[in-house]
Amino acid sequence: MGVLGEQFTVAIGTVRILGKSPDGDSIRFVPDDIDTLRGLPNGDRIEPSATDGSVQLRLDAIDAPETHYAGQHQPFAAAARDELVAFAGFTGVTYGPSGTVTAAEPLDRTALIAAKLVETHGRPVCYLFTNLRALDPPLPWSEGQVVDLEDAHVAQTVNAHMVPTGRAYTTVYTSTQPALRDWFTDLARTSNTTARNVWPTTTRAASTSSTAPRSASRAC
């Protein structure tokens, strides 16, 4: 296994969607210890919910259509959201007119994040692990531990799941480490022949139609 990213901080908790508005690249996380997240670079930007202590996560290396972008519902946004929610382990999910979850089973799913920093909107930029009992190899990590991310770890994240499904683009932050940039770019490149949901279609000189992955950077 090769190391793709270094010095990530582990935070353990649960993901929660009931009463929330998840998207294909963002979900609410209730940390077991908020001080772990506050110890990240720019951790003072975090503002936990007064209702349940949850914080909004921003999944690194991907970008998905949004259900509430500038007040608009982007194409494929609901499909991206539903893919993330299902992979995180929620079933029986229903939504109100505004996109808020009105029913879901279970209430919470145990989760773990590996985070590097907090971005300008107060969201930890992270790699999200759910379905922890099924992970192979398992993650022997503890709260607040500083770890390196290997390729076998990253492959099991929600982040990595979303790209081959065609529900998300590869989009990296300026802070995303080079090996992780390359890994997700390669993932998009090898996925684009079968996943056609959010990939733009291009016509080549040979008049064959293929999909072109979008890979971009954004500042933290």
Phi, psi of 133, rounded to the nearest 5 degrees: -65, -25
DSSP 8-state class, residue 32: S
Burial class from Cβ neighbours inside 10 Å (0-12, 13-18, 19+) for residue 26 reads buried
Q: Identify the pLDDT of residue 189.
A: 86
Per residue in 171-181, pLDDT (tens digit) is 888 889 999 99
Q: Identify the pLDDT of residue 206.
A: 25
Domains along the chain with CATH numbers: 3-218 (2.40.50.90)
The answer to whether the CB of 114 falls within 8 A of the CB of 126 is yes
Upper half-sphere CA count for residue 101 (Cβ side, 13 Å): 24
Continuous H helices in 52-125: 77-87
Q: Identify the pLDDT of residue 194.
A: 53
The answer to whether the CB of 168 falls within 8 A of the CB of 35 is no
Dihedral in degrees, nearest 10, Cα atoms 69, 107, 105, 126: 50
The answer to whether the CB of 24 falls within 8 A of the CB of 167 is yes
Q: Identify the pLDDT of residue 111.
A: 97
Question: For the chain, which ranges sit under pLDDT 70?
Answer: 1, 68-75, 192-220
